[in-house]
Structure 1
Amino acid sequence: MSLSVFKPHLFKITFDVYRTQLIIIYFYKFLVIYSIRFYTNKGVKINSNLLSILKEMPKEPKHILEAQRQRIKIKQKSSKYVPGKVCLQILGTGAKGSPRAVYLFSDQSRYLFNCGEGTQRLAHEHKIKLAKLEHIFLTQTTWKNVGGLPGTALTIQDVGVPKITLHGPPGLNELFSATRRFVVLRDLKIEIAECTENNIFEDNVVSIKYVPIIGKPKNFTLEQIENSSSNENMGKAFSSSNNNDTDDTDYYAHECKGGVENIRSVSPTIQHLLQDNKERGIAMSYICRLKHRPGALNLDKCVFKGVPPGPLLGKLKNGEDITLPNGNVVRSSEVCDPDDPGPVFLVIDCPSEQYLDTLINNAEIKKHQKFAGNDNDVTCVVVHFTPTEILKLPKYQRWMDDFILSTEHILVNEANLCLGSIAVHRIQYKLNMLSPNLFPLLNDQGMVIEGNSDILLNKRPKCDSVNTIKSENGNIESNNLLRKDIGTLCKYHLRPKKGFDDYSQVRLDPQEYINETMVLPDFPAALNELKEKIRNTQMNLTIRNYPKILFLGTGSCIPNKTRNTSGILLQTSETQNIVLDCGEGTYGQIIRFYGLDESDKVLSNIDAIYISHLHADHHIGLIGLLQGRKRARQYLNLPNKAVYLFAPRQILGWLNFYDQCFEDIKEEFILIPNGDLILHRESYPKDDKKDLLGQLNLNDFKTCQVKHCPNAFGVALVLENGCKITYSGDTMPTENLIELGKLSDVLIHEATMEDDLAREAIIKMHSTTSQAIKVGNDMGAKYIILTHFSQRYAKLPRFNENFAENVGIAFDNMLVKVDELPLVPLLYPALKIMFAEHYEEMEQKAVKRQLKSEILAAQQS
């Protein structure tokens, strides 16, 4: 091996990057490997002891199994004690585009109340460790509460949690069964608690009582509701097409670990029961009480009483009275702080007015209002997932007034504004410095902003305490201490003290993000050079407003802080939009980019959604997007209009199941199977397609099968102005796509792996960067945009010599007009400096892979 490998800039080993034990192990491995290669090249025979040292050095841990073993040990130790610190923490505020998610946090265990779409991403960003999460409590089986369960479960599995228990209305187990083909949980056991009003969940931290709240649909009498669980005819309303849409495809069979085991469909009998529950309407509320905790031993009082160090202190701590050698009796109550009987808090969800009477008349909840028999039973805080329009009702307000004055009320619903992510703003402020047109600042208005700057247009106050709520008829006076407009990471402390705390609420500091970039060596000069190049290039361009492409998600597999899963918004005109793939959080990305008002217009103008294949990172956000689009059209007083859904026909098995068992969505889409539009094998009726293209203002829309999982497709769209846009979805290089995309104006192609990982790309059936670029060149595409990067490239992929002037890298929240594509490759030099630390880290990993490969080859030879 040549010493030229040792590039000095690759070995700036900082404590920030290399303080973990794993990196230290790798470093020493590297020294041994280099020594072997160096002396081998010099003709020196290597002592076998040196090779044995390398073999015996610590290996990477057996990831999931080892983590599970450690988790069980920790759990066994901690379960003997009642924790001294417990709080409720807002993870998702329930704002439009933000999940509804509240964390019950102790120094031993974690519990989650609701798990809306995007929960996992916020938990990852804010280091809300999921390793101790074992129980999730759902108030309704609706997407705004359960949309984040698949992604969260995958993350929980990856950090070594062996089992998770779901609590809530019926249907949670069936929900996971229905997603098992595209959400693979091989190492995580899902258990479903029996959540009846006679049952209670209890551990060493908390006891939680289930309070089912039953709705009363207008077409049901109370007697029918009470008897509906035995009414078998309820299930006959199912669409007969459901059986035909059953999907037994294993979408992960191509991966090296094997496919999904024991795939099973939800039985018709279970489906009938679920539809029964859907018609009845069940919302679960929870009465929660922390476990009684003995008062802590006060050492100052012990010293005053003359208690010597030793076992007598332990007896006093355990509640025993003792007698000192001098005969004095010391009572435990005299030297211990008062016991904490355990505060009570409620989690309430009243989805509509139909549930209200059942809620306000519930006898169990009354025991914790002003009617409580003793002070210890009085509620200290109520978390309301109830929609604002219900909370405004006088009847609901009077029910809230039945709590004592000191009870605090926290809203987790769409009245809040905070979407919770700092990271997406941080990187957008940095990229905005390169090009405000390509990277406009985001428009969500729910973040507290530090400092003063002319660029800060979306300031808002801290979360507020109010005593009135605006109703349709004016202000309703109330004695409630109501927390509204709360932010992510706000807390309510339950133990040792009680009270609301917004000190840890997420805040933005744009000037800090700009300053930390401007101090990078050579960046100011690179920025000036870039701006000059952009100005000179723009002088030779004629830039039309449309079409333009907004990248909503440019990462693969699961979201991380800076790259969401796959999603692209293609704006063909001011009044027409098409979505290409729809990973988790796509709806939230639209809200964050456009803001509340403008996003309603954008959502209402979505006329088509294309799903390339049925891996979760490409379609799990579809239901949330359909629901968001429906709400936007209702808000703008537009008539209901189904969206054209281009997707593998097998998606109907999932969508029909969800529609029949949980929420009505079938009226929101018209399925156009991707397989009916395949190039040279089109089976979609010509007259129907002509009408379809006319409604979408397209000249053509064709697909092809690509090399990834079963039923995976690429697509090419030709707009009315003749612009041709091709999108690969996920695929290895394939001639089908090259033929489909011939002479495209732009190819958007996945580039999941760097070139050094070509073997892994084959196993996963993805493309490397060079392969993606070659596909674009072979089809004669004018421009190529790379996307769908492995999450190891959180900020920037590795460049290579193939990155020419027609190749661009996609970022989340990058908005590029097709006529602006020549500007994107100009960003490379500044990007490499802006993300130098990240880029150096990738280079070091590449060197290590090369050395490991070489030493393995040397051993084998």
Structure 2
Amino acid sequence: MPKDPKHIPEAQKIRRKIKEKSSKYVPGRVTLQVLGTGAEGAPRSLYVFSDQSRYLFNCGEGTQRLAHEHKMKLGRLEHVFITQPTWKNMGGLPGAALTIQDVGVPHITLHGPPGLDELFVATKRFVVMKNLQITMADCQLGNKFEDNVMTVEYVPLERYETFGNTSKEKAMNQEESIITSTSSELSSEVNSLDKDIQAGSSIHTVDTGTSTRSTRRRNRSRRNSQSIGPYIPEDIIEDDTDYYAHERKKNKRKRSRSQTVSGTRTAPERIAESSKLLLSKTKEKGIAMAYICRLQPRPGALSLEKCVEHGVPPGPLLGKLKNGEDITLESGVVVQSVDVREPDDPGPIFIVIDCPSPEYIISLIENEKFKRHQKYALQDSEMACVVVHFSPTSVTENIRYKHWMDEFSPSTSHLLLNDTNTCMGSISVHRIQYKLNLLSPDIFPLLGDKGSKVIDAEVNENCSKKMKTECESLETSMEATSSDMTLTSVQESSLSDCGCLSANTLVSFHLRPRKGLDRSGELKLIPSQYIDETKSIEGFKEALQDLRLNIFNKKLGLHYKSYPKVIFFGTGSCIPNKTRNTSGILFETSDTCKILLDCGEGTYGQLVRFYGPTKACEIIKQIKAIFISHLHADHHIGLIGFLQGRRKALNMTNSDDAPVYLFAPKQILNWLIFYDRCFENICNEFVIVPNSDLILEDENIAADEKARIFDTLNLNAVNTVLVRHCPNAFGICFTHNDGYKITYSGDTMPCPNLVKLGMNSDLLIHEATMEDELAGEAVIKMHSTTSQAVTAGKNMNAKFTLLTHFSQRYAKLPRFDENFAENIGIAFDNMQVRLSELPILPLLYPALRLMFAEHYEELENKAVKRQLRIERQRSVSRDRQQSNNHLVKV
């Protein structure tokens, strides 16, 4: 959600001044640093920083979260280089752009294949760029980008079909022939698609502010029962909804009905007109962009020792020598600057390569621009210092690609940022999970992500036998982690043998001063440190013992069932932070059927981190449906990455599962169809079921379609209601064949319709964005406070209420009070809980308060200060009113 923009103009002004001042000299420090390794579920991104500027090569989904955790401030980032317009390279751009905007960056330039900037055209309704100008560089062959830090040469790579010993010339002729022959077919195909998604004669408008729905039904054709493609309603039109209007101070812009309908082109028409060139040149041709980067030459540093040897006195003469000027001493001796300076640095070269598939290798190996920096270089300074490979393993293991790599000088380093790596890049998620695991290994299991190095894997060598017994399950999990660490080391060894270097997060390569590879800051996990931090808290050990006794006693009265179960992948709001990702919940109904509730950025990565890559592959195949509550980015921007991850899992196991059911506002199709046509095919991965067709007591769904859904999901009811948030925001309720009922609110203010929908639910999962004292802010942003969420559960007679979607000010723990009764729980990322285990959650509160005592105390202090400020304002207001009353009497 957009922040208050008052600070942005001043921040932009300051940054312009800093930029103007720093651009006058060549920086003395330039480093490449790995941010996202490209491991399964992790982004792939290379961070380049100097004394003054920042650059990013690729920005996969989850990049901004890693940048936030590792303090790679994006405040000076002004250039983003994308190798290919695919989600794995640019899925993090929308979120990163919002962060960049909020810190006051006025302008950012995208570099890459044509059409890359179309991403922001497609997301403009839910990624609002009011204070950030985004432009696209002209990256044609022969063009260059240059500033005071480096020069970047664009080298497009094209896909060529190869058959036997087909030469490049023949392949190029073939490619040209294919493009020419299919040109008319492409136009015909796009026109055909336009007809498939025609706009209705009018717009069906929903006002969610009052949680009501028009009773007028919409006529639409039904999906054929044998179809495996996406169901697309006929009345999809261009979505011009302002999804953040409720947060702006000005009244929502009103439009007449004629303005809404007349002259409005359908989304397909707009896409067909604006994107044909993009489809033919970028998507169909599959252009990938490589970058040859050379740092600007820099004069050698002035050597004071040499100056003394040549008799140069202190003073302004030193400045002249430093600037490259020759000087004449009083004795008449001429001192040349080259005699008293270190050798000039001509500027090292690094190359960024993304060869998406073997079909691109011909374009790569026969390109003369790369040969200039291989062993054929005319001079040593022309040889590449390091080559960064985003190319996937299927390419880097290709014999022709390996031969091309061998053509570089032995002094050239090769850094892999691809699926060879295993490090997912985060310490914080493991740190908090090790802590929470002490409370309940069942509810907070150690993460399946074992790709990071583990240091000191013993829980605590000095702990007593009693504590060791209590932590037995924890030690067992950590031994498995230690075993996986050995596998990682073996992997690194094999990579080094072939001349390539693995690229764990925070691995650096220093270009200036030229120091090469640096692993000193490499991400490492230290479990014993995280656990000892918690155990050393005063009173925690005693509280932990009491908790375990209470859990034991509580379990005696519980009747355990394996399902249903909910797993939280994201429990924060707006943007991700170190410990809470954006919304994503897995609702497991059985060992073969699962439903995903919302899909914020990084949801797929969270799933991989929780289960580990192997098990995640099995789990994701079992997800039969996805519910998107509304079209704010923090609830659905991870959907494309998730659909692609699901397709990959199906392909890896040769599965042929049906497309996933997508319960969502139908307006989401504008975004998904745009992406499908302009970038990558995704529309065959889902079957849309509009949320508006499942409205309680006003369903508009065919009986046969409804039966198929219920049979697939083992349900006997699925209903939605409009809730009080942005336009087209919904809550949902699932009633299972086994009789239990689970309700999920999405984002909403207190909503009678939701209470009606979820009456007598076994579980209500409700947003609780704000603490009670911030009720005014909650109204502005149309969210609920903790007490309002608890009251919603009471009003619907829910057996248990689980709170989630906390403001990022509650990164570790929200404030809670006596309202948190025995049937109220707090959700954490990577928490799993069965319906039968819910009564255990309230037992955790005392230990949680101790575990996060410092954070909780800070929240309490802020609350006290806020209350004092309010009291002062009230006092001033009363005094002013009394003064005015006195004047009136006089």
Same fold (TM > 0.5): yes
Query: Please, which of 511, 518, 521 is the counterpart of residue 538 of structure 2?
Result: 521
Residue 248 of structure 1: how far off its partner (Å): 1.4
1:196 and 1:220, CA in 2 relative to 1: closer, same or farther beyond 3 A?
closer
Report the equivalent of 1:253.
Answer: 245
Unaligned runs of 5+ in 1: 1-59, 470-477
Residue 270 of structure 1: how far off its partner (Å): 2.0
Residue 306 of structure 1: how far off its partner (Å): 1.7
**Which amino acid in 2 is paired with 1:237?**
E
1:108 to 2:52 alignment: yes
Q: How does 1:318-717 map to 2 (within 5 A)?
A: 318-453=323-458, 454=475, 455-459=478-482, 460=485, 481-484=499-502, 486-717=503-734
Instruction: Please give the alpha-carbon distance, in whole angstroms, between the structure 2 residues aligned to 1:541 and 1:657.
Output: 50
Instruction: Please give the alpha-carbon distance, in whole angstroms, between the structure 2 residues aligned to 1:181 and 1:675.
Output: 20
Residue 228 of structure 1: how far off its partner (Å): 5.9
Residue 457 of structure 1: how far off its partner (Å): 2.4
Report the equivalent of 2:158.
Answer: 214
The residue matched to 2:45 in structure 1 has which SS? strand
**Which amino acid in 2 is paired with 1:845?**
K
Instruction: Please give the alpha-carbon distance, in whole angstroms, between the structure 2 residues aligned to 1:236 and 1:259.
Output: 44
Report the equivalent of 1:739.
Answer: 756
1:269 to 2:285 alignment: no
Instruction: Please give the alpha-carbon distance, in whole angstroms, between the structure 2 residues aligned to 1:302 and 1:260.
Output: 69
Single out whichever of 350-359 and 849-858 deviates more from structure 2: 849-858
1:302 to 2:307 alignment: yes
Query: Please, which of 29, 35, 40 is the counterpart of residue 91 of structure 1?
Result: 35
Q: Is the 8 A contact 1:562 1:794 kept in 2?
A: yes
Instruction: Give the structure-1-normalised TM-score.
Output: 0.89
Instruction: Please give the alpha-carbon distance, in whole angstroms, between the structure 2 residues aligned to 1:328 and 1:694.
Output: 95
Once the two structures are superposed, what CA deviation does each residue of 1:734-791 show, in whole Å capped at 9, x if it has no partner?
1110010011000000000110011111110100000000000000000000000000
% of aligned pairs identical? 58
**Which amino acid in 1 is paired with 2:412?**
T
1:296 and 1:135, CA in 2 relative to 1: closer, same or farther beyond 3 A?
same
Residue 712 of structure 1: how far off its partner (Å): 0.5
Once the two structures are superposed, what CA deviation does each residue of 1:676-711 show, in whole Å capped at 9, x if it has no partner?
011000011122211210111112111111010111
Residue 452 of structure 1: how far off its partner (Å): 3.5
Query: Please, which of 726, 731, 735 is the counterpart of residue 743 of structure 2?
Result: 726
Once the two structures are superposed, what CA deviation does each residue of 1:101-126 show, in whole Å capped at 9, x if it has no partner?
00111111010000000000000000
Single out whichever of 297-306 and 450-459 deviates more from structure 2: 450-459
Instruction: Please give the alpha-carbon distance, in whole angstroms, between the structure 2 residues aligned to 1:307 and 1:674.
Output: 80
1:375 and 1:732, CA in 2 relative to 1: closer, same or farther beyond 3 A?
same
Once the two structures are superposed, what CA deviation does each residue of 1:297-320 show, in whole Å capped at 9, x if it has no partner?
011111222211101101111111
Q: Is the 8 A contact 1:443 1:595 kept in 2?
A: yes
Single out whichever of 212-221 and 124-133 deviates more from structure 2: 212-221
1:761 and 1:738, CA in 2 relative to 1: closer, same or farther beyond 3 A?
same
Once the two structures are superposed, what CA deviation does each residue of 1:110-156 show, in whole Å capped at 9, x if it has no partner?
10000000000000000001001000000010000010000000100
Q: Is the 8 A contact 1:164 1:190 kept in 2?
A: yes
1:114 and 1:464, CA in 2 relative to 1: closer, same or farther beyond 3 A?
farther
1:317 to 2:269 alignment: no
The residue matched to 1:681 in structure 2 has which SS? coil
Instruction: Please give the alpha-carbon distance, in whole angstroms, between the structure 2 residues aligned to 1:288 and 1:260.
Output: 47
Instruction: Please give the alpha-carbon distance, in whole angstroms, between the structure 2 residues aligned to 1:289 and 1:517.
Output: 48
Residue 343 of structure 1: how far off its partner (Å): 0.5
Instruction: Please give the alpha-carbon distance, in whole angstroms, between the structure 1 residues aligned to 2:736 and 2:433.
Output: 30
**Which amino acid in 2 is paired with 1:269?**
E
Single out whichever of 232-241 and 278-287 deviates more from structure 2: 232-241
Report the equivalent of 2:229.
Answer: none
Q: Is the 8 A contact 1:229 1:273 kept in 2?
A: no
The residue matched to 1:457 in structure 2 has which SS? helix
**Which amino acid in 2 is paired with 1:201?**
F
The residue matched to 2:297 in structure 1 has which SS? coil
Query: Please, which of 277, 289, 299 is the counterpart of residue 284 of structure 1?
Result: 289
Q: Is the 8 A contact 1:463 1:487 kept in 2?
A: no
Q: Is the 8 A contact 2:160 2:362 kept in 1?
A: no
Instruction: Please give the alpha-carbon distance, in whole angstroms, between the structure 2 residues aligned to 1:325 and 1:280.
Output: 68
1:559 and 1:271, CA in 2 relative to 1: closer, same or farther beyond 3 A?
same
Instruction: Please give the alpha-carbon distance, in whole angstroms, between the structure 1 residues aligned to 2:136 and 2:115.
Output: 9
Instruction: Please give the alpha-carbon distance, in whole angstroms, between the structure 2 residues aligned to 1:627 and 1:530.
Output: 42
Instruction: Give the structure-2-normalised TM-score.
Output: 0.87
The residue matched to 2:117 in structure 1 has which SS? helix
Residue 800 of structure 1: how far off its partner (Å): 2.0
The residue matched to 1:607 in structure 2 has which SS? strand
Instruction: Please give the alpha-carbon distance, in whole angstroms, between the structure 2 residues aligned to 1:640 and 1:693.
Output: 17
Residue 440 of structure 1: how far off its partner (Å): 0.4
Q: Is the 8 A contact 1:754 1:769 kept in 2?
A: yes
The residue matched to 2:867 in structure 1 has which SS? helix
User: Aligned residues, how many?
Assistant: 793
Q: Is the 8 A contact 1:164 1:191 kept in 2?
A: yes
**Which amino acid in 1 is paired with 2:101?**
Q
Instruction: Please give the alpha-carbon distance, in whole angstroms, between the structure 2 residues aligned to 1:65 and 1:235.
Output: 45
Report the equivalent of 1:28.
Answer: none
Q: Is the 8 A contact 1:217 1:280 kept in 2?
A: no
Query: Please, which of 837, 855, 880 is the counterpart of residue 820 of structure 1?
Result: 837
Ranked by relative contact order (alpha carbons within 8 Å, sequence separation 6 or more), the top structure is 2
Instruction: Please give the alpha-carbon distance, in whole angstroms, between the structure 2 residues aligned to 1:229 and 1:349.
Output: 28
Instruction: Please give the alpha-carbon distance, in whole angstroms, between the structure 1 residues aligned to 2:608 and 2:405.
Output: 31
Unaligned runs of 5+ in 2: 163-170, 200-235, 256-263, 459-474, 879-890
The residue matched to 1:172 in structure 2 has which SS? coil
Report the equivalent of 1:234.
Answer: 186
Report the equivalent of 1:22.
Answer: none
1:783 to 2:788 alignment: no
Query: Please, which of 76, 81, 88 is the counterpart of residue 132 of structure 1?
Result: 76
Report the equivalent of 1:69.
Answer: 13
**Which amino acid in 2 is paired with 1:249?**
T
Once the two structures are superposed, what CA deviation does each residue of 1:42-78 show, in whole Å capped at 9, x if it has no partner?
xxxxxxxxxxxxxxxxxx9952222111111111111
Residue 529 of structure 1: how far off its partner (Å): 0.9
Residue 507 of structure 1: how far off its partner (Å): 0.8
**Which amino acid in 2 is paired with 1:545?**
S
Report the equivalent of 2:132.
Answer: 188
Instruction: Please give the alpha-carbon distance, in whole angstroms, between the structure 2 residues aligned to 1:252 and 1:229.
Output: 45
**Which amino acid in 2 is paired with 1:811?**
F
Query: What RMSD over aligned residues (CA atoms) do the two structures have, in Å?
Result: 2.2
Instruction: Please give the alpha-carbon distance, in whole angstroms, between the structure 1 residues aligned to 2:247 and 2:873.
Output: 24
**Which amino acid in 1 is paired with 2:833?**
V
Instruction: Please give the alpha-carbon distance, in whole angstroms, between the structure 1 residues aligned to 2:179 and 2:648.
Output: 33
Residue 230 of structure 1: how far off its partner (Å): 12
1:465 and 1:335, CA in 2 relative to 1: closer, same or farther beyond 3 A?
farther
Residue 260 of structure 1: how far off its partner (Å): 10
Instruction: Please give the alpha-carbon distance, in whole angstroms, between the structure 2 residues aligned to 1:498 and 1:404.
Output: 17
Report the equivalent of 2:217.
Answer: none
Q: Is the 8 A contact 1:724 1:745 kept in 2?
A: yes
Residue 640 of structure 1: how far off its partner (Å): 4.4
Q: Is the 8 A contact 1:630 1:640 kept in 2?
A: no
